[in-house]
Amino acid sequence: MVTCGLEDPVSEVRARVDSSPYGFALVTASGGVLLGRLRASVMRDSGGRAEEAMEPGPSTVRCDTPAGELAERLAQRGLRTAVVSTPEGELVGVVLRSELAEEAQ
C-alpha cells in the first residue's frame, strides 16, 4: 500500500504506485487520518502536489466487517480492493477481494 502526504509531488508518488500491486495511493494527514485517494490514471496526467490530484473522502470499511460479507459486496460492485479505516478515519490498510474470499472459506 502506497501512502503519501498532501504536499508530496505527484511524480514521486506515481513512481511508488507503479511498483506496487495497487493502482492507487492513499493520501493521509500526519496523524494517519485518510484524506483521499490518488488513482494511477490521474497521476499520469497530473503534476503538482497530491492534494491537487486526489479524490477526497474515499469509501472505506471497518475492521469488524465479516470477510465473506465484504468479499460479496466487492464482487457485486466489481471492485478488487477495499480501504479499511477506524471509525475516527485513521487508515488501517487495504485488503484484496481475493484475500477475503480465501479467508471466508
- What value does the mean pLDDT take over residues 69-82? 92
pLDDT at 105: 57
- What value does the mean pLDDT take over residues 13-34? 91
pLDDT at 42: 82
**CA distance between the termini of the chain:** 25
Residues 48 and 77 in one domain: no
Residues 84 and 40 in one domain: no
d(CA 47, CA 28): 19
What are the start-end ranges of the E strands in the chain?
Answer: 2-4, 24-28, 34-39, 55-56, 81-85, 91-96
Residues 25 and 53 in one domain: yes
| Pick from 21-30, 68-77, 92-101: least confident | 92-101
Provide the pLDDT confidence category of residue 84 given band limits of 50, 70 and 90: very high
Can you tell me whether residue 48 is helix, strand or coil?
Answer: coil
Domain of 7 in residue numbering reads as: 1-58
Residues 42 and 69 in one domain: no
